[in-house]
Structures are given as structure tokens and as C-alpha cells.
Amino acid sequence: MRLRVAGVIVLLYAQPFTRIFQLTVNDVLHDGETTLLQLEEPASPIPEPAAALLLAYIADRDNMNTATNQASRWLFPGRRAGRPARPDHMSSRLREIGIPVAAARGAAIRQQLLELPAPVVADALSYHDKTTSRLLRESGGTWSRYAAGDHSRSPAGWAPKETRDS
């Protein structure tokens, strides 16, 4: 189950393993209906059935049986007490079962960029905005003219231009 959860986070959120293995159980927010993953502000929703898989994994995480590891808050606790799992070990295990982690992560972020503006993806997934802009250009996305910011209200002092018919 551990491999499946790690793979889902890579594929849904295009996160590197070094970041995934720094997550704690406190980064998974569940209010009974919605499950969120706190990568940045605001937290990102986890779709079903991935949410159910993640919650089931948290309820029965492995490497929790040592006396000093029973209260570990790491989402992926390591074999050594108080330490998270090693990213290189998990990455090689996923490759063994047919998930090329680097390629999967690249495909996941490019797919996000084709569906959402680069600044939104950068904020939601904790990427640098220059990285998401570069990846968007490389993937042929159409969000290049998106202006980030609050579009729900007009800027101060702005008034619609009058036309001759008014």
C-alpha cells in the first residue's frame, strides 16, 4: 500500500520524492467528507479513490512497530526511529514495478499545466513560477496570457470607457 500511496502522490501532484517523504500525517486534512493534502496554501483536494487509499494507509502505516517509532508523525516513516523513509529506496521500488518516477512526475506537471494557468500550478504544487512557465512553453500550453491575481474586482480608480453611444 505504501508504494501505491507514494505513486499516487507523484502522479497527482507531480511532487519529487524528496518532498513527499517530508510530509507528515498532519499534512493530510480530513473533515469527514473532504480530504486535502497540504503541499502549499491552500491545501490541494485529493480525489476519490485516492483519498480512501491514503486514509487507509495512514491508519495502518508500516515501520511503526519499534518502541521509539510508535508516535511517528511522518507520512512515510523510515526504519530508523524518528526518520522518514529514504526517497532513493522508494523510487527504485516504484521503478521495479513499472513506474518511471521522473517521467511520471514530468508528465503529471505538464498535464496540470495544460489544464490550469502556470501561476496557479506553481502556487498549488510548490513549484517556482519560472519553472512552470518554462514547462508550459515546452508543452505547448495556451495559458501564456493569463494574468495572475484577484480578477473578481476592478482595480482602484478604474472606470469603464465611455462610448459615443452613451
On the question of pLDDT at 40 being above 60, the answer is yes
Domain for residue 152, yes or no? no
In this prediction, residue 118 carries a pLDDT of 84
Domain for residue 10, yes or no? yes
Binning pLDDT at 50, 70 and 90, where does residue 124 land? confident
Between residues 166 and 50, which one has the greater pLDDT?
A: 50
Between residues 161 and 36, which one has the greater pLDDT?
A: 36
Domain for residue 160, yes or no? no
What does the pLDDT look like over 67-104, one tens digit per residue?
A: 556 677 889 888 777 788 888 888 888 888 888 888 88
Domain for residue 155, yes or no? no
Can you say whether the dihedral through the CA atoms of 141, 143, 148, 151 is positive or negative? negative
pTM of the model: 0.71
Domain for residue 153, yes or no? no
Q: What is the CATH number of the domain that holds 14?
A: 1.10.443.10
Domain for residue 146, yes or no? no
Range of lowest pLDDT (7-11, 67-71, 143-147)? 143-147
Residue 99: domain span = 2-64+72-139
Task: Find, among 96, 82, 98, 76, the residue nearest to 20 by Cα.
Answer: 76
Q: What's the domain count of the chain? A: 1
Checking 93-102 for CB contacts under 8 A at 24+ apart, the result is 93/3, 94/3, 94/6, 94/7, 94/10, 97/3, 99/7, 99/10, 101/10, 101/17
Domain for residue 161, yes or no? no
Nearest-angstrom CA–CA distance, 39 and 42: 8
What does the pLDDT look like over 132-144, one tens digit per residue?
A: 888 888 877 766 5
Binning pLDDT at 50, 70 and 90, where does residue 49 land? very high
The mean pLDDT of 17-43, rounded to a whole number, is 89
